[in-house]
Amino acid sequence: MTSGIVVLSVVMYLALLVPSAGLIVTRNRTLAGPPAVPGEPGLLEVAYLRGGPIRVVDTVIARMCEDGRVSVNSTGELKVERAAAFNAVERALLARCGPDWGTKLYRLRVQLQFDAAVDGVSSSLVKCGLLTSPAAEAKWKRAADVQVGGLVVGGVIALGLLGVPAALPVAIVALVLLAGGIKLRRAYGPRPKPGLTPRGQEFTDRVGRTGPWSVRTSAEHPEGVAGVVAVHDTVGPEPDQPYLHQLRLAVRTRPATSTTAKRSKSAKAGKSSSSYYSCSSSSAGSSCSSASSCSSGSHHSGHSGHSSCSSGSSCSSSSSSCGGSSCSS
């Protein structure tokens, strides 16, 4: 072989092998996430794992309806009966009810899922190693793009070397590696959006099948109706509740979601409270609407430190651990 063919062969193999190895390593690191945190996720974290941001919203609405803080009438209008919030997502819900403490349920569901408080739940799951982070997913996508580029470069060189008798064995091996790289890209390529890590998937599957959280009878569930909604969606609780029927109707009502989503995303920082939920500890910075204020108080088992809102005063910070359990004792 001439020195030129040797150089092309080396470049070809490097292009085929190195980016593919990088894709494997990046994919495994992304799915592994940070070290496991002892304990179990709380109520809102379970809801996010089982159904994403919208399940978190439905769980919060079910909890607030269950204890009488909000009500939903037969026309799908949500009304605040008692302006008390026990975590940042509930404060965000109250802030979106406006000065008359009422709003359409379907509109609230769409807007609240894009709130920064709900993003705080996903951030907690990332830190717990149960959900992959958007940044890690972006690295995974870049590694996949580099691998595709390497396959193109290696494939072009291999096809060129097929016409050189002395390099024919090298080119054939390269084409075999090219086929393997294509299969690798299909199997190890990134997902369209961030998803569960293997630990997160295992927990999500287990919580719906076994243990006290898997029951559908609200009286037997550790978190009542809200807990059943978190695990099994609004069709899960037994016996059924009128406000759950309205939630199911709201799912089928489609407002102008694209406009609503853009408006909600642009208003995240200034309009509603954001939170940091951790599997080991949860703290929420509070921010109230113009018609509400916060003071510390207490809730039933599983919650500590809540905000009770009333007109005309200011906010103090609060912390909450939702769901009666956290990732560490």
| pTM strictly above 0.85 | no
Alpha helices in the chain (DSSP H): 3-32, 43-51, 53-66, 88-95, 105-112, 116-127, 134-161, 168-188, 198-209, 224-232, 242-252, 257-266, 268-271
Rounded Cα–Cα distance for residues 74 and 199 (Å): 41
| Tens of pLDDT, residues 124-157 | 998 888 998 888 889 999 999 999 999 999 999 9
Which one, of 246, 212, 230, lies nearest residue 89 by Cα?
Answer: 230
Cis omega before residue 53 (within 30°)? no
| Tens of pLDDT, residues 262-273 | 444 444 434 433
The pLDDT of residue 168 is above 70: yes
| Tens of pLDDT, residues 266-302 | 444 344 334 434 454 433 333 333 333 333 333 333 3
Mean pLDDT, range 22-34, rounded to an integer: 89
